[in-house]
Amino acid sequence: MISLTSPIRTWAHRVPAGFKLLALSVLTVLLFRLDLTGLVLAALGVACLYLSGGLAFAAQGALHLRMLWPFLLLIALWHGVTGQIQAGAAIALRLLAALALANFVTMTSRLTDMIAVLTWLLAPLRRLGLSTRAVELAIAMVLRFTPMLVENGQRLAMSWRARSRRRPNWRIVMPMAALALDDADHVAEALRARGGILPDIHRRD
């Protein structure tokens, strides 16, 4: 899931997060059972799903998905060279449709609602005496910080273009890693200041 909740309100915002996550799981599995024609129709269906939220919402969703194009291009080139064009098209369409569906769910669901669903799903583990707090926090942090990492990369690329005529390359990887480590350090300090993530019973020991 590569984005957070969209400020553009749509009908999908009113659908319970649990239902959307269940539908996402089922539809993603079904994508692996479709042939090329079915995948083309599925991709068109996902595009219509975005358009049902309005042009502004669809444009925002397309903007979030633009990071996929290098991977899709690489898949197309590889399968074109190996003479497996149909297989490459099927893989690209399946990847695009699955990630677009996941992006749609996160754009139309609040993070707190998705965490609530996860908490409910992990309830059997808590009854066995296992702490699920770390898992819930890890999922929340992935959903929250992935867009921030993308934004940091974009800022570094813009800084590079402001100082050089050459296109950004691998040299921005180290600054991006340093920013990610710095963010992780700040989050760790904030967690320690609030008592950490261990259950109360472990902290008393």
Q: Which of the residue ranges 50-64, 77-91, 191-205 has the most confident prediction, judged by mean pLDDT?
A: 50-64
Q: Which of the residue ranges 44-53, 108-117, 142-151, 165-174 has the most confident prediction, judged by mean pLDDT?
A: 44-53
154-186 burial code (b ≥16 CB/10 A, e <16): eebeeebeeeeeeebeeebeeeeeebeeeeeee
Mean pLDDT over all residues of the chain? 81
Q: Is 117's pLDDT higher than 90?
A: no
The burial of 31, by beta-carbon neighbours within 10 Å (0-12 exposed, 13-18 middle, 19 or more buried), is given as buried
- Return the ∠ at Cα 13 (arms to 29 and 117), rounded to 5°: 55
Cβ neighbour number for residue 195 with a 10 Å cutoff: 9
pLDDT number for residue 203: 43
pLDDT number for residue 1: 42
Q: pLDDT category, 199, cuts 50, 70, 90?
A: low
Residue 15 three-state SS: coil
- Return the ∠ at Cα 187 (arms to 169 and 194), rounded to 5°: 175
Both tokens assigned to 28: 């993603």
What share of the chain in percent tops pLDDT 70?
84
pLDDT number for residue 85: 85
Q: Domain ranges in the chain?
A: 11-110, 123-204
Note the pTM of the prediction, 2 decimals: 0.67
Phi, psi of 139 (to 5 degrees): -60, -45
The upper half-sphere exposure of residue 63, i.e. CA atoms within 13 Å in the direction of its Cβ, equals 14
Q: Is 29's pLDDT higher than 90?
A: yes
Q: Is 59's pLDDT higher than 50?
A: yes
* pLDDT per position as a tens digit, 144-197: 676 677 777 778 888 877 877 777 666 777 877 887 788 778 777 777 776 666
Q: Is 137's pLDDT higher than 50?
A: yes
Identify the CA nearest to 25 among candidates 111, 148, 117: 117
The H or E element that residue 11 is part of is: none
Q: Which of the residue ranges 48-52, 83-87, 125-129, 159-163 has the most confident prediction, judged by mean pLDDT?
A: 48-52
pLDDT number for residue 50: 94
